[in-house]
Structure 1
């Protein structure tokens, strides 16, 4: 039995029992039991053996290891008899489980927990279970199909032919065939019309609801019907083929908490389908709610600031890495997925070239442009012998290695700090050249130390890695060495460098807080459902320290503070009149399209930062012109909510 050698077992049965039970039925009884319980091991052990002439009784204990209900045991008795001078087994289904009788079968009944809710930091529900009403048709009860279809078409907003298609092929005419769902409010409004139509029935059901629609779509995520691959992994935990599970965002990341653990009962059914007894069971564990760090009012303000332009916004608390807002556009409405997304909606989302299912804040990668210059400045100060007072002369162009690079302006003589404030490309071309000559990989190493080129580890699935190019990467990817021009382009955030908005927000948060890289996190707490269970509270996690001295970091911060101040700041007009000081940097990132991506990232108050906001607006133009006003709008909302 422990080796599933059922054919050998069958040969040990008495002839009368072999006549009563065909070998296929015998084998199926064991296999069906093993399949239902998802047995991983069966361990029989003989306890005693009593022999009386040509009869014998063997007492034995069996330990069953089940993925469905956990480990359980049974003591049992096997009767043996001599037949043609050989001991044979007198068998019945009770040999599998002593409670079984002939004709019985083993089945599993699952008990699902109600899915937990997701709340923002103030207790506002972002995802919750809500009552919906399923409208169905019982074909056998239809008296006037034309009236039925006209009424349902009005209530459901579906053409009559589509409604009829959903019930016309019912296997039995007395079955309830669902044709659509409506809210509780709609059910009350249409109740008097629906209740008088023979053949129409209403049934209440729980379904996932997202009260804010698309506002939190990418962070909270959505549910979808479990796939075959997912079911193979999760079936042992009680998931069934018609279940819905988290597919993206927090719904996916926190699936084990939100879904809880399904209970299971291994039951013995009589041949007429009645439960004879519960052989073993695993109790259901309550699901848990998830509380997040997001602020709904700030999220709404960020969404309004971005509007209908493609891009993303991330707002972090630089003191602990908590995410205050995360917006990506275009978005989608997760409510469309709650009962199973229609083929029409899915086709529209999947074929949309703008990729509305993509969380641009964590999954899209962009060239950084000038927002990367803080990394170049840090590398030059630490590794190439420059100081904050080092001077440079910008004539609008710069030449080296038989090539000329242009600057967007003519800045004259300026020091390194003002070079950052004015975003002078000539300054950073010079730094890139010096870094290459000191160590071709120095700038790439500093970029990685600032958290680029690796996932931040945020508690959302599918985060992009980005790319920090260097000599080894270029040799692998293109079979070419790293040239001086590669370092010069990288110094201004161009070339092959790719970053996510979240990486940039985390990088500037480290600059803002004095050099500590925190792992960004969306989850604040996963409270226990019952007393005695521990709450799970997410603590700030330090993942690194910027390898920059306090003096050099202070110089970088002075350069960023100057960006929003006259007369040299590239964004001072955007931020004039702000009631708190703001430090930050614009970026105008060239890409394969005609217009560059517009970046702005900054923190406030500049002298005691409490918030970092990074914004990217795709293919619109200069950072100070497009992304900077977006960040200002978010900061103004934060000030109102502070």
Structure 2
């Protein structure tokens, strides 16, 4: 009963109708012969298929088996298009769908089975044309692939952000391999690649072509070099693709040779370029950088291996380079400014566009910390708080005491270093980063207005980059204590990129979402994922912004950010902030600088109790850097 059910299901897959299965045709009839031949071929029961042909059973069995190997087919399925006969001859049309695997589309074609009566029984008249109408004696099928080199990631000027590195490619020329099965068994044992996938690549490729089977980086190759050399017939060639990342290394990302684990994910030991992005933009834009391999189904002469005919081709998906907004000159300036420092992150953006120009770190990760870090901004948040306060009517010339200690709504704030000044103006408090003065203004603005100001500067707006990023968060604040903590930046969380965009907004008068890649705009989205909705630019009120600019100029001319000034250069605007961040019960003193020079807006945060430490790095950056082109 179970056997009968399997036959019925398989026959239905072949497109046979119920009357045929019910035996409405009396023998001799060609229907059963056609069904059994195609069903045996489809299910790899080659003996059953051979029994329904007039050819030598051994030859038919081997030929049908070889076809699957020559195509490295994951599956072959058939449907019957029609059967006709007259007297003792006839023919059947069939439709074939061959799954070539390796992320290729199905190869679909139509074939014909010639039929005739042999001793009162219908048989398929055997010849290579049974496999495909264009196949002749002395010929075979093969799958020819044309790998495409990985495209580069470029800076804003079109220069590659990678250098050449050496890769070792293990492969074969099938015609020179005496025992492909043994070679693949040994290579699988050494590398972990699936033996059947390796063998399928060899048997399906044109015999004279070099077939790459596995690729290794320098360190991995050094580990297994001797074992690879012991595999008879295996050849090692070197390749020098430009995949070693330049700065910013963690933003650009690293590229590695495909591993056995990646093979399982990608469907085979080969993919265009034989490389895969491990992190950064190399990973985010893997599909665009590699495209997909061009694949052709061809007929070869068995002796000369000359191509006789091309039956089908797929050009593959074209790969493209990825153009970023990184300015290599400013990137170098950023790297020099933070070199050797305590854990530090520096992000520079173009104020007029929001384009990311440089991402430099020391002891921190460029993606996880500079773009996606969640730092306490402390008094660096005074830029956003000042927007809320000025919008609520505060005059920067108003006198606001800067005391050593202040309690607001039960929350205590302490300021060291500048206590004892003659009652300063709010502008002086801002320039010096006086946290007690800032907190004391909690009753001049409510939490809703502060949240609204933060939103105008993109904080918490949910903007996205192709890499991990954080747009910031501001808690809802009710009550004087909660509002004071927000003004003082103690309960706010931001990334350095957040604050660079804040500086850019005050510089240009408009907040803009960040841009890291200009072409293609976004990586290929995952299947079923919704497209990201980017926030729109926000224009800052002109009168309010003019006061913010004056405050930030004072921060450099007479405030705690004096170290950022560049004598003889364009004016620098900014604020030096202090914060304390507690992580895993460890308190870290942070120094911030947020400001700009010309069209370059900058944020620097460093683990340093010296309030002016980040401003000094900003000054070094501005002195060496140059405007983006």
Q: Same fold (TM over 0.5)?
A: yes
Gaps of 5+ in 2: 1-9, 16-34, 172-217, 522-532
Q: How does 1:528-539 map to 2 (within 5 A)?
A: none
Q: How does 1:110-129 map to 2 (within 5 A)?
A: 110-129=145-164
Pairwise CA distance, 1:555: 1.5
Q: Which is higher, the Rg of structure 1 or of structure 2?
A: 2
- Residue 611 of structure 1 is aligned with which of 587, 600, 607? 600
Residues in 1 aligned to 2:286 and 2:66: alpha-carbon distance in whole angstroms: 35
Q: 2:254 maps to which residue?
A: 222
Q: 2:434 maps to which residue?
A: 424
Q: 2:561 maps to which residue?
A: 571
Q: How does 1:585-624 map to 2 (within 5 A)?
A: 585-592=575-582, 593-605=586-598, 610-617=599-606, 619-624=607-612
- Residue 502 of structure 1 is aligned with which of 474, 486, 497? 497
Per the alignment, do residues 78 and 562 of structure 1 end up closer, same or farther by CA in structure 2, a change over 3 Å counting?
A: same
Contact 1:421 1:570 in 2 (8 A): yes
Name the count of aligned residue pairs. 526
Q: How does 1:483-498 map to 2 (within 5 A)?
A: 484-495=480-491, 497-498=492-493
Pairwise CA distance, 1:632: 0.8
Q: 2:412 maps to which residue?
A: 404
Pairwise CA distance, 1:127: 1.6
Pairwise CA distance, 1:614: 1.5
Q: How does 1:95-494 map to 2 (within 5 A)?
A: 95-99=130-134, 108-129=143-164, 166-167=225-226, 170-172=229-231, 175-176=234-235, 204-208=238-242, 210=244, 215-226=247-258, 231=263, 234-235=266-267, 239=271, 243-267=274-298, 274=305, 278-283=310-315, 287-309=319-341, 310-330=343-363, 360-382=369-391, 384=392, 386-388=394-396, 391-408=399-416, 409-410=418-419, 411=421, 413-435=423-445, 438=446, 440-453=447-460, 456-458=463-465, 460-464=466-470, 466-470=472-476, 484-494=480-490
Residue-by-residue CA offset, 1:404-429 (whole Å, 9 max, x unaligned): 32233335544444432232223321
Q: 1:188 maps to which residue?
A: none
Pairwise CA distance, 1:269: 6.8
Residues in 2 aligned to 1:103 and 1:207: alpha-carbon distance in whole angstroms: 40
Pairwise CA distance, 1:263: 1.0
Q: 2:179 maps to which residue?
A: none
Pairwise CA distance, 1:585: 1.2
Gaps of 5+ in 1: 137-157, 179-202, 331-354, 472-481, 527-540
Per the alignment, do residues 121 and 14 of structure 1 end up closer, same or farther by CA in structure 2, a change over 3 Å counting?
A: closer
Contact 1:14 1:83 in 2 (8 A): no
Pairwise CA distance, 1:282: 1.8
Secondary structure, counterpart of 1:503 in structure 2: helix
Secondary structure, counterpart of 1:364 in structure 2: coil
Q: 1:347 maps to which residue?
A: none
Q: 1:79 maps to which residue?
A: 114
Contact 1:37 1:266 in 2 (8 A): no
Q: TM-score, normalised by structure 2?
A: 0.69
Q: TM-score, normalised by structure 1?
A: 0.68
Superposition RMSD in Å: 4.6
Residues in 2 aligned to 1:220 and 1:510: alpha-carbon distance in whole angstroms: 26
